[in-house]
Structure 1
Amino acid sequence: MAIKLILSDIDGTILDDNNKIDTGLRLAIANLKKQSVPFVLASARSPQGMLNIAKELDVLDNPIACYNGALVVKDLQSNNYSTILSHQLEKAEIEKMLTIIQQNFPKVAINLYSGSDWYVEKIDKWVKIEADITKLTPIVTDLQTLVAKNNLPVHKILLISEPEEIAQVHQRLRDSNLANSSFYLSKPNYLEITNAQVSKEKALRELAKTYNLELSETMSLGDNFNDVPMLKLAGLGVAMDNAPTEVKKSANVVTGTNNQNGVSKAIEKYVL
């Protein structure tokens, strides 16, 4: 069937190893618009962390799936963007995680994300690195007090430290009966935590419903293990050539690497 919706990962997919956008993608998206095919970005990033990329690609009119699908928004350019889908972590589990980390792993940087806001307890080397990557500035506050006293929707927690310590944290949290939270290593030293119901696969299902499309009419592109469910679900799952072997096996086809304009080449070949 003809592809009528595209859902694409960002890092390692439309961005090359120097964080530059696929040079053929803006033209490809302009041509997609002529055929009324939405190009939707999906990432573990926050809304503000995706804003400049969405602006550069001129896709701000389309939905954007943030925090791996925990928050799907539209009209991101507006301070009052509209929410299509929102899954937040449970308050009791957040408080339990914060206690475990603060008491047992004090060197771990805790980053808490709510909508467009990024909260931290202190500015350490890890927070500085993340700020340099995202070009965003966190709000420094007491996280336990913030969660306890506010009805704050927490869409993601990001824990950063040395890989060995993050591996220990990962195992400790998995053993702590946090049934409604899921844990994912996006890097050896980055542990991402979202509601267990969150995935790019669920975001793709919701977007297909929003556009009144069959899943067979969708295409997804990605390069990492958290992309596998949406690669399998879409009518056409496209893995980047820089993806691990198991990720490639989950896709229907493999395109060029993120350094070879693999996304725009796949759009030209399979959609346009």
Structure 2
Amino acid sequence: MDIRAVFFDLDGTLFTSTRGVAASTRKAIKELRQKGIFVGIATGRGPAFAMPLLEDLDMDFAVTYNGQYIFTPKEIIYDNPLDKKTLKKLMNYATQNHSDISLGTAHGVNGSGLLKFGETRLAGFLSGLLPNGTSGVARNGFKHVVRRILPQNSQLADEDEAIYQAMMVATHDETDKLQAEFPELLVTRSNPYSVDLIPVGVGKLQGIKRLGERFDFELNQVMCFGDSENDITMLAGSGYGIAMGNALPEVKKIATYITDTNNQDGIAKALAYYGLIRFSVEKDFISKDENFNKVKEFHKVMDGKSQEIPRVFPPMEAGFRAGFKIEEIVEFLYAATDDDDEKFENLVQQLHQDVDKAVAKVRSKAHEEDALTGQVDAMVDLLYFTYGSLVLAGVDPYEIFNAVHTANMGKIFPDGRPHFDPVTHKVLKPQDWEEKFAPENKIKKELDRQKRVAAKKTKNNS
């Protein structure tokens, strides 16, 4: 079979629901490259988000902003800014209809915090925590990851920087109205909550065609993977359009082949089906650490599989994992202040300083260990520090850990599978989750029990 290039959509396709890239996918990309097959990204996200992935996965090129901005790690192949007149019209429409809007530039996304496609939990917290003296997140509370930034439409429209794509909050019911209002634009979407707006005649497929003209391959020599509405034209127009198992029904309908989900090695399985790579599933291992096994059980349900061979977290995925930990650190600090905003702000500012000190210390040290050893050493130290904090708090974590694990496993829906928010990728909770599984009351009861036992022991020993 004559496949010269393979392209992947990102969310719901290349990314698993926990925002990582499956080990099987990484191995598959490496094998494709070794066979001389081009590998690229085709996404509605921008180049600032895609570039680290190209470097991390050693890919050849990226079609970003739905075909509006195309590049390799070394050069820009094509860029097509939105017309200023159309952009002004969009800004006015958004203002009049009270719609959140964001504008995609070569360097990132400006505007509504609800629509910053390049933002993750990590980016949302670091943007408020890391730069010294700039934290405004503390005043808004750390209970919510999304930073609420109201768009300044007129200012955005007057920016000198080129705008390649507009993103606007809009339900499916609003799609036809938008398309009628802006016939010069293509209204497409990669999630149920917002639309991407680009010029008519542009799209992922056209972007791939431009790369084919540059790197000498035809569309019938291309295999594309996708799951959303903005992937339909790409899958239908390429030689082999592969729909993920988690794809929308309309995407599956036009696909050449339907593979497994993004959480169950769907990419590797499809590539193996067509004979482009070899793929096999490793047997699970069981740890002597029962708490580890419980968390592994959770991830196996959420991801559809488990990691069985030690591996290094690449920069982007390591960032996601660090972001999850940062949220809990901030929750820990907030709980220490008893709802006192001033004390909380002071602790956040101290955290800024601690991060700066840590960065300086890490940079000053010689790091002779390999990456996997360094990461595991740091993770186990974090675990040790966490146990140390529980020791200093005088708390036995055993029953509390079980309560949290039960609560997390309670996020499985009646269909036997986890559900994920299509925008934030956070695990969703079934309707009865708070009533049946929320762990806070169980944690409090267990802590009250431990305090009673401790008080009784103290009294008996006095």
TM-score range, shorter chain: 0.7 to 0.9
Whether the 8 Å contact between 1:16 and 1:259 is mirrored in structure 2 is yes
Equivalent residue for 1:255? 259
> What's the secondary structure of 1:135's corresponding residue?
helix
Which of 62, 65, 84 is equivalent to 2:63? 65
- Identity across the alignment (%): 25
> What's the secondary structure of 2:54's corresponding residue?
helix
> What's the secondary structure of 1:64's corresponding residue?
strand
Equivalent residue for 1:11? 11
User: Bigger radius of gyration, 1 or 2?
Assistant: 2
Of the two structures, which has the highest relative contact order with CA contacts closer than 8 Å and spacing of 6 or more?
1
TM-score, structure 1 length as denominator?
Answer: 0.83
Give 1 or 2: higher helix fraction.
2
CA RMSD in angstroms comes to 2.6
Equivalent residue for 2:134? none
Evaluate the alpha carbon distance shift between residue 229 and residue 19 of structure 1 in structure 2; reply closer, same or farther with a 3 A threshold: same
Which of 231, 238, 253 is equivalent to 2:235? 231
Whether the 8 Å contact between 2:108 and 2:118 is mirrored in structure 1 is no
Inter-partner Cα distance in structure 1 for 2:97 and 2:34: 55
The residue correspondences of 1:187-198 to structure 2 (distance < 5 A) are 187-198=191-202
* Structure 1: tracts of 5 or more residues without a match: 76-80
> What's the secondary structure of 2:224's corresponding residue?
strand
1:69-94, CA deviations, whole angstroms, 9 ceiling, x for partnerless residues?
1111111xxxxx52212222211111
Evaluate the alpha carbon distance shift between residue 149 and residue 17 of structure 1 in structure 2; reply closer, same or farther with a 3 A threshold: closer
* Structure 2: tracts of 5 or more residues without a match: 128-146, 278-462
Whether the 8 Å contact between 1:4 and 1:37 is mirrored in structure 2 is yes
1:111-139, CA deviations, whole angstroms, 9 ceiling, x for partnerless residues?
1112123222x65xx25897335837699
Evaluate the alpha carbon distance shift between residue 211 and residue 133 of structure 1 in structure 2; reply closer, same or farther with a 3 A threshold: farther
Inter-partner Cα distance in structure 2 for 1:261 and 1:253: 15
Give 1 or 2: higher strand fraction.
1
> What's the secondary structure of 1:11's corresponding residue?
helix
Inter-partner Cα distance in structure 2 for 1:63 and 1:215: 16
Look up the equivalent residue of 1:90 and give its one-letter code. Answer: D
Evaluate the alpha carbon distance shift between residue 187 and residue 134 of structure 1 in structure 2; reply closer, same or farther with a 3 A threshold: farther
Residue 218 of structure 1, CA deviation: 1.3
Equivalent residue for 1:91? 84
1:183-225, CA deviations, whole angstroms, 9 ceiling, x for partnerless residues?
1232222121111122111112112212212222211111112
Which of 249, 265, 272 is equivalent to 2:269? 265
Aligned length: 254
Residue 182 of structure 1, CA deviation: 1.4
Whether the 8 Å contact between 2:189 and 2:229 is mirrored in structure 1 is no
Evaluate the alpha carbon distance shift between residue 251 and residue 133 of structure 1 in structure 2; reply closer, same or farther with a 3 A threshold: farther
Look up the equivalent residue of 2:106 and give its one-letter code. Answer: G
Equivalent residue for 1:78? none
Which of 157, 177, 196 is equivalent to 1:147? 157
Equivalent residue for 1:111? 102
Look up the equivalent residue of 1:203 and give its one-letter code. Answer: G
Evaluate the alpha carbon distance shift between residue 92 and residue 36 of structure 1 in structure 2; reply closer, same or farther with a 3 A threshold: same
Equivalent residue for 1:174? 179
Residue 48 of structure 1, CA deviation: 1.6
> What's the secondary structure of 2:245's corresponding residue?
coil
Evaluate the alpha carbon distance shift between residue 153 and residue 248 of structure 1 in structure 2; reply closer, same or farther with a 3 A threshold: same
